[in-house]
Structures are given as structure tokens and as C-alpha cells.
Structure 1
């Protein structure tokens, strides 16, 4: 398949497709909970990065291939191939970003995305002009289409299962495999023939040399890498520091402590380096237990009943709520969630994990701490820190049981 190809450009083409997929899918995750105008902008940016990733990968692959000398690239088919990318990717993302995507909608999106990738490839190949005739094996065209649709479906399913962390990386890899796998499979079934007695692709119309194409591709590679690096920069959560009366500070911490040295976190007040204290007595009582937790969806903010919540996880600058079937992002920080949840039913077992005690299916010791599995149609494991292991066992009744057995 890669006979005669430049191996360095082949590797670069696959890497560009993966980086473009990661950036585009990552931007698409931020469609959730945004206003309608911002949602359109994010959808355009996401579709743009995915389309640039597909198109750039294709033409890096073309530069890596053993193309006959004197070949040029017709500008009009080349531009049309990019527009096909942007259109089908935008429609596919729109289908899976509105409401709760059904299996039919995901399948249709994958089919559209795969067909779009294949169409972009062959339209781009039609733009290759020179003293030669191009032949394509029909069986390889069908195989390339199957590769594109199948891996596009897998990438979308991984992407929808969980929008951040390793799942986002896996969906980007699947996307890169879909694009590059389709391209090199199709190239395997393509042959350049002599023009003797055969129609050939003449350079009628505006055309560009391989050197000009290489310059454009280099600029697009820089754009993809820059977008990828910018996406990796975490979003900062705006922290509004409430005003704290000096009299209240003096009552709690003494008259020598300045109000500027004290900070307020959800449900508590703290001095740097010290354990937070409840806000009771400052006229700011702890909020009552929340009955629902907000989560972000493609069409706005939804609410999950606390009785359905299995765990809450702080994942980098995201907070993920698991309801036993899947994870969704919440606008609350994990500290906000802890302050709103009833401590009689929820326990923070790790600095980045809160669990619902009633949904613990099993617990086992692991290293210095422990691991619990939470029930549901999609059970999942949560780590327990060493400092919280004893409290968890007591809440589960395991300490008393052990005492009775002894």
C-alpha cells in the first residue's frame, strides 16, 4: 500500500489527521450549554478544524505518493474537495450535537461523514492533471468507503460516550484512522497509465504546482498544530471573591488577621494553608441539600436527580457526573457539588471523587487505599484514598461486621 511513498510524509499525514480530529472534536464538546449564537460559532470552528485535518491529510498523502513528474493540481476541484469536507463534517456534528443522539442519528452521521471523506478524496484526485490516465479498482473504492464509514462510526461512538480525557483522544485516533486509512486504501487501488490511446487529465484551467501545494499544506499544518496547542490550555473558572466584613473575620479568627487573608469557598471560609471552616454564624448558612444537579447538554442545561447520581469526578478543569449510564459535564466545581449534596448519602472518598453510598456494589482494598464499584447499567470504579478508607467502611457497616465476627 505504501510502496514508493515517502514514509516521513505518511507519518506526518496520519499525525495531522489525529491532531485535527482532537481539536475539532474538542471544540465540539463545548457546544453543550452555550447560547445559540455561540453554538453556531463553535460548530463552525469544529467543522472547520475537522475539514482542514481531512483535507490536509489527503494532500500530504498526495505529496508522499509517487506521482508522475509534471503533474499539477487544478484549483477548482481542489477547492471543491475542501468545501465537501466542511459541509459533510458540519452536518454530521450538527446531527450528533442536538438533543440526545439516537443510534439511527449516529449511524446516519457516520455514513455521511464516511461518504464525505471518500467524495473529498476522489474529487481531489480528479484535480490531479498531467500526461497520464488514472484508473481506480471498483473493489478498492468499496473497501475504502467501508473503512471510512466504519471508523467514522467508531469515532463518533467513542466521542459521544465521554467527551473528555482519554475518550476524546481515542475518538481523535479513530478519526485519524478513518481519514488516513481510507486515503491509503484508495491509493492502493489507483494506477497511473500512459496516455497513449486513452483520455487523460489535461491541465485546463487554473492549476498549482506541487511546490505551491506543499506551501499551502505547510501553513495548514501550522494552523492545526496551533489550534491543538491552544485547545490544550485549560479554561480558568472565574472565582468571585465575596466581600467579608472585618467584624466577622475578627469574631472567627481574632483582630490581628486582615480580611484580605481570608477567602471564601462554597459553603466554607478558610485561611491559606488551613482547613476550611463552615460559614455558619456569619449570616451565610450552608445551603440545603440539592435535589438535582445541573449537567450540560448540546441543547442547554439539563438536571439529574441526586437519587440517580452514582459519582462525581473532577477531571482536570471539568466536573463529570455519572448517573449509572454515562458521564456528563456539570457547571459546578466538585467543591460546589459537595456543598450542595446531603452528607448523609454522599461521601467525598478522594480529593477528586464523590460517591453515593447507597449505590456501592462492592469494595476492595487496593494499595494504601481502596476501590469501589458503583452500580448501574454501566458500572464504574472509583478510587478511595487511604485517609477515607476507614470512614467508607464504617459508612458501609463493614467495621461493625468485622467487630462482631471477632
Structure 2
């Protein structure tokens, strides 16, 4: 069935899946990093992903050598989009409300993958004409497996809150996987003239490929426009970290921070640059970090910070003497601080390498001790042990 495809449209369908995946998962990744507009971000991400997957499917159908008398039944075509939108939205919501457990992610990926492949076959059977459509069950199963794999990878992007180059590479992989599912399914499909013909003469609304083409073109424009808008850096988000380089001990009260674009200080203040910052100047690193004090928000020198810890929706900064709440998320702190000094040793912990006084093996991972008036210990995940050892100049194991 793949022979006879228009390869320009095939390439366009893959590009749509990639750009839609980049924008959709880029929005979705912000859901877990913000305390405001979560529903709007989630709805926007789900809607854009659904539109991009559905549009990719129909661009692929326009690229296929379908019979000349084929038309698209309107009801199955609309239902195919609703299936896609529903499963994407439910999957993103399901993984956004609880812990990142493997069973939860696997169940969401299964739902998402089955929804994507269902959208494909419902859309295919929206074709009507003097023919019947037959499928090779082997390719149906393979397409389903690819769809579930694409869903799992996409949800991992969402949970990892990737940005910049990593998000771009992940979106490329996702786009290739989704389009690969489509063309795998098409490879196992064939049209049988006559026979049990799937006719559109039963009074149902139908549309020819010539009518569908401008609709798909409009959706392509929407996806590309959303992608380009997503690439535009937000000046407020880029400039706020620089505010942290003011005089030591300066306090920022709540009203002052709330006046910035009408948003409160808990809004995201650091976002990764689009496309890994290509064509953008390297952002300045924050010299100070905000922490809460009884009468406002105080800025402390980054050089005084020993560690940063995330606990649910809260972030705590330890300066060697005490631990205080910060309005930044741990991801914002990681993006704003100097990566030569601060390293994320665990999904919930960042440490200043220069203040590490002890490292030792503990279970599958390790722990480091940070010096100061009140020394404290921070866990290191197994995946980060080698990096921490290298940063500390330890080449031959960990002391016990």
C-alpha cells in the first residue's frame, strides 16, 4: 500500500508531527512547573497534540494512493479527532495529578497509544466508495505497539520537563514514531474493488479529498503558527533572574513582585530557551536566590547556598545554617544557577559542589555532606554518582 505515496506530503506529515509534538509537549512540560493556569496549559497541550496527530494522519491519507471515487464520511472523521483529543487529554491529566510511578505512566501510555491507533483506524474507515478496506492483522498489532511506545516516550517528555535541545530531540523521536505508526498501518492496508463496498450513499454527510485538503492546510498553518509563537522568548521570564543580582540583603515585598505583568512571585521565572538557545545569547546566571522571610522576600548570595531541596510543590534553600522556603521551583533554580558550581544530584536535590565535605555509598545510591554551621546530608541518585565523583575529582571509588 505504501507504493504510490506522494513523498512530499509524507515529509510534510512527519514535519507536522514533530512541530506539533515540540509545541504540545513543551506546553505540557510547564504544567508541573507552575502553580497557575495549569488547566489552560493542559487543555492547550492536549488540544495541540490532538490536532497535530490528527492532521498528520490526514496529510498522510492525502499522500496515499486511495481510489479516485473515495470520499470521507464526516461523522467518523469527526469522531476520530474526538477520540484523539480525549485520550491525549486524559493521559496528560492522569500523569499530572499523581506521583511519577511506572504503573501510572505505563497505563497512561497504553491508553494514549490505543487511542492514537483507534483514531487512525476510525479515520480510515471514514473512507467511503466502491471498495472495501482490508487490514493485515500483523501490521495492525505492530502499529499499536509503535503507538504505545510513542505515547510512553511522549509522557516521559512531559514528566521530565525537558526544554531546549532535549525537547527538540524528543519531539523529533515522537514525530517519527507517530508517523511511523501511521505508515506501518498503511503498509498493511489494501483496497478491494467492489465486494462489500463501503458506500456513502446512505444519507450521511461526506467530503471529497479536495474539500478536506484546505481544512488540513488550515490546521497545518495553526500548528506552525503555534510552534513559532512557542519559540518567542518571554522577556519577563528571561529578565527576572537578573533581578536576583541586586544588593545583598535587599528585600522584595509581595506587592512589588505581584505588579510584574499582574502575576505573583510564584509564577515561573526561568524557562529554557527554545531550540536549546540557538541564535540566542547565553543567559546570565543568577548571583542571588530569593527566599521567604517573615516580612517579604530576601535575596541571598548564591555563594552561600549549600543545597536546594524540592518537597512536593515547595522548594527549600539551605545556606549552611538553616533551610528556608524559596518561591522558585527546583527546575527554575537549576536553570538560573551556575552549572559549574551547582549540580542536580537527585530529582529533588541540587548541591553546591564546592561545599561538599563528604561522599559515601548508601544503598543503590550515595549521600553527600554539605559543610557549614549546620552540616547536612543530601542523597545522590545512582545515575548521578559518576558525575558527582568527577566534579569532586574522585577517580577511584567512593569512601565508606
In the TM superposition, what is the alpha-carbon distance from 1:166 to its structure 2 partner?
2.7
Task: Determine if contact 2:71/2:200 at 8 Å carries over to the other structure.
Answer: no
In the TM superposition, what is the alpha-carbon distance from 1:98 to its structure 2 partner?
2.1
In the TM superposition, what is the alpha-carbon distance from 1:131 to its structure 2 partner?
1.2
1:202 has 2:200 as partner: yes
Tell me which residue corresponds to 1:12: 12
1:361-376 → structure 2 map (5 Å cutoff): 376=381
Tell me which residue corresponds to 1:253: none
1:202-241 → structure 2 map (5 Å cutoff): 202-204=200-202, 205-235=204-234, 236-237=236-237, 239=240
Q: Give TM-score, length-normalised by structure 2.
A: 0.67
Tell me which residue corresponds to 1:32: 32
Give the 3 Å change call, closer, same or farther, for CA 207–150 of structure 1 in structure 2: same
1:314 has 2:335 as partner: yes
Offset from partner CA, 1:36-62 (integer Å, 9 cap, x none): 6x1111110000010011000000000
Alignment partners' CA distance in 2, 1:378 and 1:140: 37
Tell me which residue corresponds to 1:371: none
Offset from partner CA, 1:230-266 (integer Å, 9 cap, x none): 1111222365999xxxxxxxxxxxxxxxxxxxx9626
Alignment partners' CA distance in 2, 1:287 and 1:18: 41
Tell me which residue corresponds to 1:184: 183
Alignment partners' CA distance in 1, 2:298 and 2:41: 39
Gapped regions of structure 1 (runs ≥ 5): 243-262, 270-275, 279-283, 331-344, 348-354, 362-373, 385-391, 398-406
In the TM superposition, what is the alpha-carbon distance from 1:154 to its structure 2 partner?
2.7
* Structure 2 residue matching 1:180: 3-state secondary structure: helix
The structure with the largest alpha-carbon Rg is: 1
Tell me which residue corresponds to 2:346: 325
Task: Determine if contact 1:162/1:326 at 8 Å carries over to the other structure.
Answer: no
Runs ≥4 residues deviating over 6 A:
304-309
Tell me which residue corresponds to 2:103: 104
Which stretch shifts more, 211-220 or 54-63?
Answer: 211-220
Q: Give TM-score, length-normalised by structure 1.
A: 0.67
* Structure 1 residue matching 2:198: 3-state secondary structure: coil
Alignment partners' CA distance in 2, 1:65 and 1:133: 16
Tell me which residue corresponds to 1:378: 383
Task: Determine if contact 2:25/2:45 at 8 Å carries over to the other structure.
Answer: yes
Tell me which residue corresponds to 2:88: 89
Task: Determine if contact 2:128/2:200 at 8 Å carries over to the other structure.
Answer: yes
Gapped regions of structure 2 (runs ≥ 5): 251-285, 289-296, 324-329, 361-378, 395-400
| Number of aligned residues | 317
Give the 3 Å change call, closer, same or farther, for CA 191–239 of structure 1 in structure 2: closer
Task: Determine if contact 2:343/2:352 at 8 Å carries over to the other structure.
Answer: no
